[in-house]
A and B are shown apart, each in its own frame.
Chain A
């Protein structure tokens, strides 16, 4: 029984230590979410000296068991928010999210307005006058067909 308790105690100490040091994200995943500060391209597409240093830093912290957010926070503290590939949804970064969203809403609204107007025009009860020119054309075609029929006969 005592042995079991000791074993349990050792496990209780070792399990959290082991899980804390487990990498919690992949390099591929985070590299796509970061920018190279000197070349303005994504970190996974850059091989500048600064990008290599950042990659080494991220790898060190990843192995130490840091979360992705902890790594990002540390990088933002040193490089500012421009190190993130997607701007934060706060402050000026919010504009980058709101402008496309606004554009999509306006686009959708415009399409809806056009469709509504079009459907209203085609609604039952609304009598559309046929243009006079079409009636005249119909009469002429009828006359021509009649004439051709007479000639064949």
Chain B
């Protein structure tokens, strides 16, 4: 009887330990991604395949290798995102798209219904995807909105903007990504 109790307790403690260790390593790994980008380590950005928000189809990040990619995390309830969205749209129409730079807006921790209204309100035409369950934002270590990453042609993150981007800041980061070897 005593032995069985000891075994059950040990198994339960082991299970609890595994779950806790998994949670700690996952959150630590995710948090380190923006920090690595800021430190200039150029880490490979975590891949994702997400459904387009406003039309049929998906976007796979790794399929965009060979192009500079701007990944912008946003949510419709985020006030600074309202200032940023027109700026990104303008940059997309006038500079990014004509030069083959991809921009992907990742709507996360948000109601897709509200996000569609947001996209319509600001007439956004760059690809917008919805992060179901917020898993991609977690893997990228995003915990505030908006946040923007710029990836070079090899999929390495060369710039990270916590908060609203400026047009000049984004232009510089895109130029750095294009020059990144």
* Most-contacted residue by chain A among B5, B111, B114, B135 (CB, 10 A): B111
Task: For chain B, give the interface size range.
Answer: 20 to 34
Residues of B contacting A76 in the complex (Cβ-Cβ under 8 angstroms): 133
How many pairs of residues, A versus B, come closer than 8 Å at their CB atoms?
A: 59
Q: How far is the CB of B30 from chain A (nearest CB, A)?
A: 14
Q: How far is the CB of A113 from chain B (nearest CB, A)?
A: 7
| Chain A facing B: main interface SS | helix
Please measure, in the bound complex, the distance between the C-alpha atom of A99 and the C-alpha atom of B16, giving whole angstroms.
7
B5 touches A109 (CB 8 A): yes
A78 touches B132 (CB 8 A): yes
| Chain B facing A: main interface SS | helix
Which of A38, A52, A99, A106 contacts B8, CB < 8 Å?
A: A106
**Given that A92-B19, A102-B8, A103-B12 are contacting pairs, would A53 and B132 also be in contact in the complex, using a CB cutoff of 8 Å?**
no
Q: Is A32 in contact with chain B by the CB < 8 A criterion?
A: no
Which of B12, B78, B134 contacts A80, CB < 8 Å?
A: B134
How many A residues have CB within 8 A of the partner chain? 25
| Interchain Cβ contacts under 8 Å between A and B, 19 examples | A49-B77, A49-B79, A53-B76, A53-B77, A53-B110, A53-B114, A54-B111, A57-B113, A75-B111, A77-B112, A78-B112, A79-B134, A80-B133, A82-B133, A99-B12, A106-B5, A106-B8, A106-B9, A113-B1
